[in-house]
Amino acid sequence: MPHAVSRRQFIATSAAAGLGATAFAPWARSAASATVSIGKCIGYGAELVPTLDRMFDQLGGLERLVKGRTVGIKLNLTGAPQLRLGSHAAGSAQWVHPRMVGAVVHLMDRAGARRIRLLESPWATAMPVEEYLFQAGWNPNDFLSAGARVELENTNGLGRGKDYERFDVPRGGLLFPSYLLNHSFRDCDTFVSLAKLKDHMTAGVTLSMKNCFGNIPTTIYGDYVKDEPDPVPRSGRGLVFHAGGRQPPSFAAQEVDPQSPRHEGYRLPRVIVDICAARPIDLAIVDGVETMGGAEGPWGGGEACRPGVLVAGTNCVNTDAVATAVMGYDPMAKGGTPPFYTCDNFLELAERKGLGTRDLRRIEVAGVPIEKARFDFAPMIRSRFPRNVPPYPDKRAA
């Protein structure tokens, strides 16, 4: 269950947080199978809105998810706004496309959403998301005018809130028992992950679940945070989460097992599952119209591609399993095999945690069949992993 945690309460509550939470989140749900919709869409033009509309109808309609509610939409705007994959704009490679954001906001507004808040944690900055988008050449007014009440919030810190909120991982976390997040993740009645269809050099694939790693504020979990939250973000989350080189500050929950492997291929998949269990995704949408393969961003190399596909579902594990198959991979793959070359399969961990099934035989697919939507990412990611990459798990790092 989430709790408001003020600065004054941090130290007082740290001991309890470090011991782990036993209360279940009110939205916790057991593993299940829900329909996943696949749509073919060749571009971000006139066909985008009707394609999404049809897909949402196949999931039971947007009204049941958003009517009269506050909706939080986590965007995927990874990396600095100036980064480009060659001549390709960010929205055609590593970021969710701006027209995709506008289309989703429009349809949710039309379905009766009371308020829509677009959420992102821009890299190492407290600047408003509006300014971040301006630096990428986007016009935030395109989103703000797509609905009656649309807001933008930088969730890398307090944002407009006064306190951080503690989110407990039901039945205990795989890496941490609870996480402190921006107030927006509690304020929303419906939480949406609007992600990109991409490979990921550490997690295997970037889809709706990996997108939520960006929910975590670096004002608390950043590399240099000490005895109180940083007033502004100054770094990434590498030391605490990827490398395990330090524990979070004492006011946040400490690791479940400080003796666990320090290998990022062990740690990152478990953080992904924890975050999606602590604040579940109510609607997962994956933008694969134009994207990139071989990496999650231009800093990792990779190449632009046009799969021309959209994937959506109300269970994030089901949705990401189908999206993984659309990419030409096996969602049942073990760690150390494609696409999870150097990591555990977070879908397997999520399934064990009870968040949903990754077994395609148990998932109903509406719209376009997987085999007709498939776009093979394997050649692009394979080129990024030479034969001398140590197998996972790398016993030397464990």
User: Taking the complete model, does pTM exceed 0.75, yes or no?
Assistant: yes
Q: Does residue 26 carry a pLDDT above 90?
A: no
Cα torsion 52, 49, 154, 269 to 10°: value is 30
d(CA 52, CA 194): 12
Give the strand order in the sheet containing 365-367. Answer: 150-154, 115-120, 70-74, 190-196, 283-288, 309-313, 36-40, 365-367
In a domain, 340, yes or no: yes
Convert the pLDDT of each residue in 200-256 to its tens digit: 999 999 999 999 999 999 999 999 999 999 999 999 999 999 999 999 999 999 999
Place 390 in a pLDDT band, splitting at 50, 70 and 90.
low
d(CA 2, CA 72): 16
Q: Which domain holds residue 246?
A: 3-22+36-382
Convert the pLDDT of each residue in 286-332 to its tens digit: 999 999 999 999 998 899 999 999 999 999 999 999 999 999 999 99
Are 271 and 283 a contacting pair, CB within 8 Å?
no
Q: Does residue 69 carry a pLDDT above 70?
A: yes
Indicate the helix (H) or strand (E) that contains 293. Answer: strand 291-293
Three-class SS state of 55: helix
Q: What is the structure's pLDDT at 287?
A: 98
d(CA 339, CA 1): 34
In a domain, 266, yes or no: yes
Indicate the helix (H) or strand (E) that contains 292. Answer: strand 291-293
Mean pLDDT of 44-55: 98
In a domain, 387, yes or no: no
Q: Which residue has the higher pLDDT, 322 or 26?
A: 322
Mean pLDDT of 271-281: 98
The tally of domains found in the chain comes to: 1
For the chain, percent of residues with pLDDT exceeding 90: 84
In a domain, 80, yes or no: yes
d(CA 61, CA 73): 17
Q: What is the structure's pLDDT at 124?
A: 85
d(CA 162, CA 229): 12
In a domain, 392, yes or no: no
Q: Does residue 375 carry a pLDDT above 70?
A: yes
Burial class (CB in 10 A: 0-12, 13-18, 19+), 33: middle
Cα 304 to Cα 49, 241, 386: the distances in Å are: 23, 28, 20
In a domain, 393, yes or no: no
Q: Residue 317's Cα: distance from chain center in Å?
A: 12
Place 387 in a pLDDT band, splitting at 50, 70 and 90.
low
In a domain, 29, yes or no: no
CB atoms within 10 A of CB 69: 18
Convert the pLDDT of each residue in 180-200 to its tens digit: 999 999 999 999 999 999 999
Mean pLDDT of 139-145: 93
In a domain, 28, yes or no: no
Phi, psi of 90 (to 5 degrees): -55, -40
Beta bridge partners of residue 151, listed in sequence order: 117
Short-list 90, 298, 84, CA closest to 199: 298
Q: Does residue 118 carry a pLDDT above 80?
A: yes
Short-list 360, 215, 339, CA closest to 276: 215
Convert the pLDDT of each residue in 327-367 to its tens digit: 999 999 999 899 999 999 999 999 999 999 999 999 999 99
- Structure-token pair, residue 131: 């300014």
